[in-house]
A and B are shown apart, each in its own frame.
Chain A
């Protein structure tokens, strides 16, 4: 049969890995990315990547990694696929090592491992404190190699608009827009792999990058893809608050010995270092003696909220806590953590080696995402596969630190060959799809652009976005109260209405970033609703989803996956059971 056509959308870790796997199997790939792939959000991952290689003589194993991941995710992830990921992780590290990632080394020349949240083992391989960057570059280089052999064709500076679905709702390609010329075009494909990352922009002030809008997931959702577990949003306990974004202060800072504390006396205005040890409240260490500063993120974040908002023990003048590294040796800090410390110094000023950092939780990651089946990374739309943060499968209700990189790469490794296999087995490929199907989709998207460009009104997209972010951050992150979620839904109605009166300040047809952003904003508003509806419905507390009105996990009613679907502007929630065949749920106490 003819060589199948595969498209990968998104050039972060998952997308690049999927691309490599497809190209390696001899099938040419077209790779689409909004930014040059080397600038993808994966570069922001700092701390490391988990794999139970047990190189420290602690008796770690892939089963314990699996157990930690399921337990950390509060038992709502389907277990077999998580187990497969944990089993594949050591080989993934080896692969990355072979690709030339500059992982930190032991004196013997082997990979060094450090501790991370939610585990008691040294399981996290790292390259300084810019591990995501180093991994992304390694994969980028391999893709570049395939590109030089004409096995990969890159479309950088293109944004995905919609999938091309034929009359049987089978995916036959994509419709995308060149962000420079604003040309809207369709690209036929037998299978498309979506690796479009996070959705942080919905919450605006997050640790995510500008492109993490979830626009592709939302578009696919509107075309019939299930969106699963949207309500599980991870808020990272330690970030620098900022107006444009919150800058992540990696968990590895605590993994290497950093301690979180506040002054015991409210309103203590003394400089941090002059506060004597006995007047410091190391609340994580006191409350969670076993895991200390390395409790999972949801637990640490809630602890900080409790200290700041309930016990009113915040730092003078701001909602923040200290993350203290000043007791650690300088040489170690420079060797293992420089990348993060540099960010703090550049954006805040003081040297964290000398002065404790002031940090506060910030929205960081979505555990939820496009629904996929259990072994092929396939969505419910035939021909659409997905990997990375944009799918929901691996992290349950709370992701453990340093598990995201491994899930991205593992997902890409599975999705690539799965897409090739699917495409090869197709009876009729995209070549047999009538031209009219592509033409219709392109026209639909051009019309969407035109209608936005010609829309009259006085609403500004940035203003709507700011309000969206503020509401979502306040009501749909750490603490969820049903009444507030209801109010948020009403607010979303208002924003939807105002969105229909958005006035584009730029109506040109050349690198029109306003048009691009406004299209993304429209999609964000819909995903925001999925997240809020999911949170409203789930009347329990599980992992990152915390409802004071329902403070306990409720396995009887809620040990199930949320599946949202979209039909004619209406969002419907349904539920499916979780595969707990390997590990019976137990209560989660750190």
Chain B
């Protein structure tokens, strides 16, 4: 029988956060169109290192396997990306797998990215609706507006943009491009905009927009090609406008609508 073509996978492993780091090498049988997830499943079926030692299957997060759930982000040859869409054919061998470094490690290639969901909560990233009752259609929106909003709404919260950002680290509390992009999305929605002030205030807090220093790496690793730098700069603009307004008024900056109400003699 002809020997199968194989390649080497080097995986950074850690049985638990407090355990020591071990690198393990695995020899994987090559097949066309193979992705990293399939390699990890091969290992789960036969958890033996290249040296012939028995080991445990690799822990990793994965779900949809078509790059839309965001679960399987990891460092593949040092580059943050989704393991499902990382095809072995296109990768330099030996392939190196590491967990994302900007999030608390759980085990092996698994990390805890709940901080991103927590930040979405604090930034009030939702449209404030009155209820789920049948109370008519939503606001109208031009096709142009939809074409701007939809790409932003495709963020899968994978964390790649945080991983690659030099300003996301232990010395800062930077929330990262993914969250800033969501703030922009909800500020542009006709109803979501009613909470824009609170989001902008939050964006001026610790870890807010000011921590972005324009390395512009985020936009390069986004698997969904979201215009993240555009979102950052747009939020910079919105926050600045909000901040200057506040400052000029030495107080809670009234919105234009509040001003109009005042002129009309309506008490809030």
Binding site for B on A (CB under 8 A): 17, 20-21, 24, 35-36, 38-41, 43-44, 91, 94-95, 97-100, 102-110, 127-128, 130, 133-134, 137-138, 141-142, 144-145, 147-148, 156, 180, 209-211, 242-245, 247-248, 335, 339, 343, 346-348, 413, 460, 462-463, 466, 505-506, 508, 510-514, 517
Given A36-B114, A98-B138, A335-B147, is A514 in contact with B56 using a C-beta cutoff of 8 Å? yes
> Is B35 on the interface with A (CB-CB < 8 A)?
yes
Contact B44 A462 (CB under 8 A): yes
The smallest C-beta distance from B153 to any residue of chain A, in angstroms, reads: 5
**Cα of A109 to Cα of B107 in the assembled complex, Å:** 48
Contact B143 A244 (CB under 8 A): no
**Cα of A464 to Cα of B175 in the assembled complex, Å:** 43
**Cα of A148 to Cα of B126 in the assembled complex, Å:** 11
Q: List A contacts of B16 (CB < 8 A).
A: 510-511
> Is B120 on the interface with A (CB-CB < 8 A)?
yes
The smallest C-beta distance from A506 to any residue of chain B, in angstroms, reads: 4
**Stretch touching chain A among B63-71, B205-213, B250-258:** B63-71
Q: List A contacts of B140 (CB < 8 A).
A: 108-110
- For the complex with contacts A210-B64, A505-B47, 20 further pairs of A-B residues with Cβ separation under 8 Å are A24-B131, A38-B157, A41-B63, A41-B64, A43-B69, A94-B138, A100-B138, A100-B186, A100-B189, A109-B141, A137-B153, A145-B126, A209-B65, A343-B67, A347-B85, A505-B44, A506-B47, A508-B15, A511-B16, A514-B57
Interface string of B141-160 (1 = CB under 8 A from A): 11101110110011011000
Contact A180 B186 (CB under 8 A): no
Q: List B contacts of A21 (CB < 8 A).
A: 132
**Cα of A517 to Cα of B62 in the assembled complex, Å:** 13
> Is B265 on the interface with A (CB-CB < 8 A)?
no
Contact A244 B84 (CB under 8 A): yes
Contact A38 B70 (CB under 8 A): yes
Interface class of chain B by DSSP: loop
The smallest C-beta distance from A122 to any residue of chain B, in angstroms, reads: 16
> Is B117 on the interface with A (CB-CB < 8 A)?
yes
Q: List A contacts of B56 (CB < 8 A).
A: 505-506, 508, 514
B134 contacts which of A91, A108, A156 (Cβ < 8 Å)? A91
Q: List B contacts of A105 (CB < 8 A).
A: 141-143, 145-146
B146 contacts which of A102, A211, A505 (Cβ < 8 Å)? A102
A-B contact pairs, 9 of them (CB 8 A): A35-B61, A98-B127, A105-B143, A127-B153, A144-B126, A145-B128, A148-B121, A339-B68, A462-B45
Contact A44 B64 (CB under 8 A): yes
Q: List A contacts of B217 (CB < 8 A).
A: none
B136 contacts which of A94, A109, A210 (Cβ < 8 Å)? A94
Given A107-B143, A128-B150, is A513 in contact with B59 using a C-beta cutoff of 8 Å? yes
Contact B68 A94 (CB under 8 A): no
Q: List A contacts of B68 (CB < 8 A).
A: 43-44, 130, 133, 339, 343
Q: List B contacts of A145 (CB < 8 A).
A: 124, 126, 128
Q: List A contacts of B46 (CB < 8 A).
A: 460
Of residues 50 through 109 on chain B, the ones whose CB sits less than 8 Å from some CB of chain A are: 54-57, 59-71, 84-85, 87, 106-107
Given A39-B71, A463-B45, A510-B107, is A243 in contact with B127 using a C-beta cutoff of 8 Å? no
Given A102-B146, A145-B126, is A244 in contact with B37 using a C-beta cutoff of 8 Å? yes
Contact A127 B114 (CB under 8 A): no
Q: Which 10 A-B pairs have the closest CB atoms?
A: A97-B138, A109-B140, A141-B126, A100-B127, A462-B45, A91-B134, A98-B138, A506-B56, A39-B69, A102-B150
Contact A511 B107 (CB under 8 A): yes
**Cα of A459 to Cα of B64 in the assembled complex, Å:** 27
Q: List B contacts of A517 (CB < 8 A).
A: 44
Q: List B contacts of A335 (CB < 8 A).
A: 147
Contact B63 A243 (CB under 8 A): no
Smallest CB-CB separation from A416: which chain B residue? B132
Q: List B contacts of A41 (CB < 8 A).
A: 63-64, 69
**Cα of A108 to Cα of B144 in the assembled complex, Å:** 11
The interface centre, meaning the residue of B62, B68, B114 with most chain A CB atoms within 10 A of its CB, is B68
Q: List B contacts of A156 (CB < 8 A).
A: 114
Q: List A contacts of B141 (CB < 8 A).
A: 105, 109
Given A20-B132, A137-B153, A148-B121, is A100 in contact with B191 using a C-beta cutoff of 8 Å? yes
The smallest C-beta distance from B176 to any residue of chain A, in angstroms, reads: 16
Binding site for A on B (CB under 8 A): 15-16, 31, 33-35, 37-38, 41, 44-47, 54-57, 59-71, 84-85, 87, 106-107, 110, 113-114, 117, 120-122, 124-129, 131-132, 134-143, 145-147, 149-150, 153-154, 156-157, 186, 189, 191-192
Smallest CB-CB separation from A141: which chain B residue? B126
Smallest CB-CB separation from A244: which chain B residue? B38
Smallest CB-CB separation from A132: which chain B residue? B68
The smallest C-beta distance from A112 to any residue of chain B, in angstroms, reads: 8
Contact B41 A462 (CB under 8 A): yes
**Cα of A36 to Cα of B189 in the assembled complex, Å:** 25
Contact A98 B146 (CB under 8 A): no
Smallest CB-CB separation from B149: which chain A residue? A102
Contact A38 B117 (CB under 8 A): yes
Contact B70 A39 (CB under 8 A): yes
Given A97-B138, A102-B150, A346-B85, is A144 in contact with B143 using a C-beta cutoff of 8 Å? no
Given A105-B142, A105-B143, A462-B41, is A244 in contact with B65 using a C-beta cutoff of 8 Å? yes
Contact B129 A98 (CB under 8 A): yes
B64 contacts which of A24, A94, A209, A511 (Cβ < 8 Å)? A209
**Cα of A144 to Cα of B134 in the assembled complex, Å:** 21
The smallest C-beta distance from B268 to any residue of chain A, in angstroms, reads: 23
The smallest C-beta distance from B180 to any residue of chain A, in angstroms, reads: 16
The smallest C-beta distance from A546 to any residue of chain B, in angstroms, reads: 28
Contact A104 B146 (CB under 8 A): yes
Q: List A contacts of B142 (CB < 8 A).
A: 105, 109
A243 contacts which of B34, B132, B186 (Cβ < 8 Å)? B34
**Cα of A510 to Cα of B17 in the assembled complex, Å:** 10
Smallest CB-CB separation from A45: which chain B residue? B68
Smallest CB-CB separation from B113: which chain A residue? A36
Q: List A contacts of B146 (CB < 8 A).
A: 102-105
**Cα of A265 to Cα of B68 in the assembled complex, Å:** 38
Q: List B contacts of A510 (CB < 8 A).
A: 15-16, 107
Smallest CB-CB separation from B186: which chain A residue? A100
Q: List B contacts of A130 (CB < 8 A).
A: 68, 154
Given A105-B141, A209-B63, is A98 in contact with B57 using a C-beta cutoff of 8 Å? no
**Cα of A134 to Cα of B155 in the assembled complex, Å:** 10
Contact B47 A35 (CB under 8 A): no
Smallest CB-CB separation from B145: which chain A residue? A105
Given A39-B64, A247-B66, is A511 in contact with B129 using a C-beta cutoff of 8 Å? no
The interface centre, meaning the residue of B35, B66, B150 with most chain A CB atoms within 10 A of its CB, is B66
**Cα of A97 to Cα of B134 in the assembled complex, Å:** 12
Smallest CB-CB separation from A91: which chain B residue? B134
